[in-house]
């Protein structure tokens, strides 16, 4: 496996986000919510407040470190839900075929017909704002591509010798799927999940920016931008840095995913639309 | 071609029916009634009488099956229901906003195509050049950037600091008001188009028929115009079609950021006040719109590439 520059850049950025999230409570100089002080609001970046302060005098740097926790939670949990749904449906559809395959295919096509941010918005409209609703909304949104890949991988793995050997030995369908098929398609699934983390973080930011995701005063990068928008004339740094954090972490996930894909399968560089 | 067209158009019908059912299910399994959440303002509990009146007026307390039958029969007559808030028909609300949304989406996609395709093309013809490197770094960045953040920064720079353009609003449809939202919305499709065009052109350049064209003495310009451009077109058209989905989704955020009076901002406002009939109707219209575009793209695709429809 040869990993290029892009992969290492992506891995570094991802590692930085993870470190920021884990170490936030030790390295952050202030409290993200409680250290609000109107006397020190809208201060430009200096030695005390590295990224300046926002409209309520809270340290932007501190809030960005804590924001990494929310972005990572959303990215990881939603992609675990996505992968479980996508793999379960895609693998069983590919393995069993027949009416179940038709049903799963139909469902996938319907999901692909709904723009993912619109679907997430609909789920948020029903469940109301907050982190748990976000995790459910984004977890239910983006499984269609994973499902398609799991299905096509299963179809090709089904004709492999070791799967047919397991069938001859009289193994049950589920046992074959989980011990013979699944381990052999983990690579592409992992790539999809990594790339999916990027889009989940972007969707979370967008939903929180619209006031439908994480609610203030909790420091989500998206909701920080909502606050900053009102004061952009007075404190442009409060808008610059949270967006930069979103951009760099999504860039990290995307480069990592692309790098993994290229090294796993240099011939079939599927272009994700 | 006629049979292909007809079949492709008929395929839209079941999809939109299932989407309509899905929307009904999502908004019916919700715990608690919408009427209660509509009046609750977080400080005091909703007035039970108001809830009862709204439930009565919109038939929300009828059994699920009965509501479902009403929903389907109304849909068949293109009736999307009545807004909880304004008591106006949802169809009218959407019609008022449709023009602005279409204008924004078309302008954004046009910007993406006009800038992205030539960039990708030039990058592919000179791989490894400075233009190629800059285009590809720009494309990767454009795909990872939260669009609304870029819009916010551009609003700060071009509207508030330099005063070149209005910072938000429709401004009676003036072109100056359209520029910032359209450029913001066009950035992601632009990045993707540049990247796909480059990849597509590179693939074509390596194809056997290009070598044949060269060896029979065709001039470089003619090869590019006649073979390369035509064969890369299929990939570009597909990308444009697929990108419309995420463009429509992103438009919701961009419309809200620039206070653009389209169906996207109608949807967000309705979600915030839980005006469910409007939310349902808007989503249905957006999906229908997306399906129509995708069908159109498939038809164009088949017209460009005769290999497709013979499947």
User: Which CATH number do you get for residue A140?
Assistant: 1.10.3720.10
* Of the partner residues A106, A122, A209, the one whose CB lies closest to the CB of residue B279: A122
Instruction: Assess whether pLDDT exceeds 60 at residue A183.
Output: yes
Give the C-alpha distances (Å, rounded to integers) separating A243 from A236, A238, B47, B168, B186. 11, 9, 42, 20, 18
* Range with lowest mean pLDDT among A18-22, A41-45, A266-270, B239-243: A266-270
Q: Closest-CA residue in chain B for A235? A: B156
Could you give phi then psi for residue B42, rounded to 5 degrees?
90, -15
Percentage above 70 pLDDT, chain A: 95
Q: Strands (DSSP E) along chain B, which ranges?
A: none
Instruction: Assess whether pLDDT exceeds 70 at residue B43.
Output: no
Please give the Cα distance from B269 to B222 (Å, whole number): 53
Percentage above 90 pLDDT, chain B: 6
The more confident residue out of A48 and A66 is A66
ipTM for this model: 0.83
Arithmetic mean of pLDDT over chain A: 84
Q: Please write the tens of the pLDDT for every residue from B281-291.
A: 898 888 888 88
For the record, the structure tokens of B51 come out as 């809830």
Q: Does B21 touch chain A (CB under 8 A)?
A: no
B249 to A209: CB separation less than 8 angstroms, yes or no: no
Q: For chain A, how many structural domains are there in total?
A: 1
Please give the Cα distance from B212 to B30 (Å, whole number): 63
Q: What is the pLDDT of residue B179?
A: 84
Q: What is the pLDDT of residue A129?
A: 83
Q: Please write the tens of the pLDDT for every residue from A109-131.
A: 888 888 888 888 888 888 888 88
Q: Does A100 touch chain B (CB under 8 A)?
A: no
Instruction: Assess whether pLDDT exceeds 90 at residue B66.
Output: no
Using an 8 Å Cβ cutoff, are B261 and B172 in contact?
A: no
Who's near A112: CB < 8 A, 6+ residues apart? A144, B245
* Range with lowest mean pLDDT among A62-71, B1-10, B177-186: B1-10
Instruction: Assess whether pLDDT exceeds 70 at residue A134.
Output: yes
Q: B213: phi > 0 → left, psi -120 to 50 → alpha, else beta; which?
A: alpha
Please give the Cα distance from A230 to B92 (Å, whole number): 32
Using an 8 Å Cβ cutoff, are A19 and A64 in contact?
A: no
Q: What is the pLDDT of residue A272?
A: 40
Which of A173-182, A242-251, B47-56, B209-218 has the highest average model confidence (pLDDT)? Answer: A242-251
Q: What is the pLDDT of residue B306?
A: 64
Arithmetic mean of pLDDT over chain B: 80
Task: Tell me the pLDDT band of B115, cut-offs 50, 70 and 90.
Answer: very high
Q: What is the pLDDT of residue B45?
A: 58
Using an 8 Å Cβ cutoff, are B213 and B136 in contact?
A: no
Q: What is the mean pLDDT of residues A58-72?
A: 86
Residues of chain B contacting A121 with CB distance shorter than 8 Å: 252, 267-268, 271, 283
Instruction: Assess whether pLDDT exceeds 80 at residue B225.
Output: no
Please give the Cα distance from A101 to A112 (Å, whole number): 16
Q: Closest-CA residue in chain A for B280? A: A122
The more confident residue out of B99 and A79 is A79
B144 to A251: CB separation less than 8 angstroms, yes or no: yes
* Range with lowest mean pLDDT among A249-253, B42-46, B49-53, B138-142: B42-46
pTM over cut 0.90: no
Annotate B134-159 with b (16+ C-beta within 10 A) or e (fewer): ebbebbbbbbbbbbbbbbbbbbbebb
Give the C-alpha distances (Å, rounded to integers) separating A208 from A53, A130, A217, A225, B125. 20, 9, 12, 9, 42
Instruction: Assess whether pLDDT exceeds 60 at residue B33.
Output: no
DSSP string of B225-260? IIIIHHHHHHHHHHHHHHHHHHHHHHHHHHHHHTT-
Helical spans, DSSP H, in chain A: 5-27, 60-96, 98-113, 116-127, 131-139, 144-158, 161-168, 173-176, 186-209, 221-230, 237-264
**Which residues on adjacent β-strands are paired with residue B89?**
B82
Closest CA to A168 of A151, A160, A150: A160
The more confident residue out of B152 and B299 is B152
Task: Tell me the pLDDT band of A269, cut-offs 50, 70 and 90.
Answer: very low
Instruction: Assess whether pLDDT exceeds 70 at residue B46.
Output: no
Q: How far is B220 from chain A, CA to nearest CA, in Å?
A: 28
Q: What is the DSSP letter of A180?
A: I
Q: How far is CA A177 from the centre of its chain?
A: 26
Q: Closest-CA residue in chain A for B195? A: A271
Does residue A49 sit within a domain?
no
Does residue A26 sit within a domain?
no
Interface test with A, best of B139, B159, B265, B271 (most A CBs within 10 A): B271
Note down the domain range covering A239. 9-21+59-263
Please give the Cα distance from B178 to A120 (Å, whole number): 27
Please give the Cα distance from A168 to A209 (Å, whole number): 55
* Range with lowest mean pLDDT among A182-196, A234-248, B215-229: B215-229
Q: What is the pLDDT of residue A81?
A: 94
A202 to B148: CB separation less than 8 angstroms, yes or no: no
Does residue A43 sit within a domain?
no
The correct answer on CATH 3.30.70.2660 for the domain covering B98-272 is no
The owner of tokens 């992601």 is B188
Task: Tell me the pLDDT band of A80, cut-offs 50, 70 and 90.
Answer: very high
Q: What is the mean pLDDT of residues B110-125?
A: 89
A121 to B267: CB separation less than 8 angstroms, yes or no: yes
* Range with lowest mean pLDDT among A24-28, B51-55, B114-118, B261-265: B51-55
Q: What is the mean pLDDT of residues B243-257?
A: 85
Task: Tell me the pLDDT band of B279, cut-offs 50, 70 and 90.
Answer: confident
A211 to B272: CB separation less than 8 angstroms, yes or no: yes
Q: What is the pLDDT of residue A232?
A: 80
User: What ranges do the domains of chain B cover?
Assistant: 2-76, 98-272
* Of the partner residues B160, B253, B271, the one whose CB lies closest to the CB of residue A125: B271
Closest CA to A108 of A152, A165, A72, A66: A152
Does residue A103 sit within a domain?
yes
Q: E strand or H helix at A30, and its extent?
A: none
Instruction: Assess whether pLDDT exceeds 80 at residue A51.
Output: no
Q: What is the mean pLDDT of residues B38-51?
A: 60
Q: What is the pLDDT of residue B122?
A: 87
Q: What is the mean pLDDT of residues A50-77?
A: 84
Q: What is the pLDDT of residue A74?
A: 92
Task: Tell me the pLDDT band of A250, cut-offs 50, 70 and 90.
Answer: very high
Please give the Cα distance from A10 to A262 (Å, whole number): 13
Please give the Cα distance from B257 to B196 (Å, whole number): 29
Chains A, B: CB contacts under 8 A, how many? 134
Q: What is the pLDDT of residue B37?
A: 59
Task: Tell me the pLDDT band of A273, cut-offs 50, 70 and 90.
Answer: very low
* Of the partner residues A128, A247, A271, the one whose CB lies closest to the CB of residue B196: A271
């Amino acid at each position: 496996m040869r990993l290029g520059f892009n992969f290492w850049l992506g891995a570094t950025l991802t590692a930085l986000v993870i470190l920021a999230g884990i170490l936030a409570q030790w390295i952050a100089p202030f409290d993200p919510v409680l250290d609000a002080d109107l006397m020190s609001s809208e201060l430009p970046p200096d030695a005390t407040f590295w990224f300046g302060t926002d409209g309520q005098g809270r340290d932007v740097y501190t809030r960005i470190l804590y924001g990494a926790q929310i972005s990572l939670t959303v990215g990881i949990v939603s992609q675990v839900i996505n992968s479980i749904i996508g793999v379960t449906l895609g693998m069983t559809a590919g393995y069993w075929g027949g009416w179940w395959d038709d049903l799963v295919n139909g469902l996938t096509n319907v999901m692909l017909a709904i723009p993912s941010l619109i679907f997430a918005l609909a789920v948020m409209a029903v469940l109301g704002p907050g982190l748990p609703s976000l995790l459910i909304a984004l977890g239910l949104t983006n499984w269609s591509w994973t499902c398609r890949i799991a299905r096509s991988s299963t179809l090709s793995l089904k004709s492999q010798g070791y799967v047919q050997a397991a069938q001859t030995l009289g193994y049950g369908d589920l046992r074959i799927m989980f011990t013979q098929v699944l381990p052999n398609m983990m690579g592409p699934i992992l790539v999809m999940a990594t790339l999916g983390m990027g889009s989940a973080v972007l969707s979370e930011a967008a939903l929180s920016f619209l006031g439908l995701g994480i609610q203030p005063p909790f420091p989500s990068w998206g909701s920080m931008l909502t606050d900053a928008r009102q004061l952009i004339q007075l404190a442009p740094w409060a808008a610059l840095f949270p967006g930069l954090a979103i951009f760099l972490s999504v860039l990290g996930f995307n480069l990592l995913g692309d790098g993994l894909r290229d090294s796993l399968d240099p011939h079939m560089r599927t272009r994700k639309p | 071609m006629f049979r292909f067209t007809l079949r492709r158009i008929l395929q839209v019908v079941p999809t939109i029916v299932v989407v309509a059912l899905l929307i009904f299910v999502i908004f019916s399994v919700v715990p608690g009634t919408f009427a209660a959440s509509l009046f609750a303002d977080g400080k005091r509990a909703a007035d039970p009488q108001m809830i009862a009146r709204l439930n009565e007026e919109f038939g929300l307390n009828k059994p699920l099956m009965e509501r479902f039958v009403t929903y389907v029969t109304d849909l068949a007559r293109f009736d999307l229901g009545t807004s909880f808030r304004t008591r106006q028909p949802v169809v009218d609300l959407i019609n008022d906003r449709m023009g602005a949304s279409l204008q924004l989406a078309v302008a954004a996609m046009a910007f993406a195509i006009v800038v992205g395709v030539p960039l990708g093309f030039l990058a592919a013809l000179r791989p490894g050049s400075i233009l190629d490197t800059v285009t590809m770094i720009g494309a990767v960045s454009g795909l990872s950037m939260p669009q609304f953040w870029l819009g916010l920064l551009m609003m700060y720079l071009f509207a508030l600091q330099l005063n070149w353009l209005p910072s938000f609003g429709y401004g009676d449809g003036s072109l100056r008001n359209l520029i910032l939202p359209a450029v913001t919305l066009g950035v992601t499709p632009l990045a993707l188009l540049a990247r796909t065009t480059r990849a597509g052109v590179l693939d074509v350049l390596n194809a056997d028929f290009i070598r044949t064209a060269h060896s029979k003495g065709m001039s470089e310009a003619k090869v590019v115009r006649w073979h390369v451009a035509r064969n890369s077109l299929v990939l570009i058209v597909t990308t444009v079609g697929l990108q419309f989905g995420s463009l429509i989704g992103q438009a919701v955020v961009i419309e809200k950021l620039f206070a653009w009076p389209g169906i996207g901002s109608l949807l967000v406002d309705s979600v915030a006040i839980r005006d469910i009939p409007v939310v349902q109707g808007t989503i249905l219209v957006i999906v229908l719109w997306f399906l129509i575009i995708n069908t159109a793209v498939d038809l164009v695709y088949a017209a460009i590439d005769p290999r497709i429809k013979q499947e």
